[in-house]
Amino acid sequence: MNDNKLIAEFMGFKQPHPEYPDTTYWYKELPNGRLETLAILNYHISWDWLMPVVEKINLLDDYRYTVLIASMDTQIVNNITNDVIVEVSCKHSVDELIKSVYEAVVEFIKQLNNRNYE
Dump pLDDT digits (tens) for 47-64: 999 999 999 999 999 999
Higher confidence at residue 94 or residue 41? 41
CB 50 within 8 A of CB 60: no
Report pTM: 0.90
Query: Is the bond into 16 cis (omega within 30 degrees of 0)?
Result: yes
The rounded distance, in Å, linking the Cα atoms of 36 and 31 is 10
Q: Quick one: pLDDT band at residue 92, thresholds 50, 70, 90?
A: low
What average pLDDT does the segment 69-74 reach? 88
**66 φ/ψ angles, rounded to the nearest 5 degrees:** -130, 130
Say yes or no to pLDDT of 116 above 60: no
Q: What's the pLDDT band for 14 if we cut at 50, 70, 90?
A: very high
Name residue 24's amino acid.
T
Contacts of residues 109-112 at CB distance under 8 Å and 24 or more positions apart, as own/partner, are 109/6, 109/7, 109/10, 110/6, 111/85, 111/86, 112/10
What's the pLDDT at 53?
Answer: 98
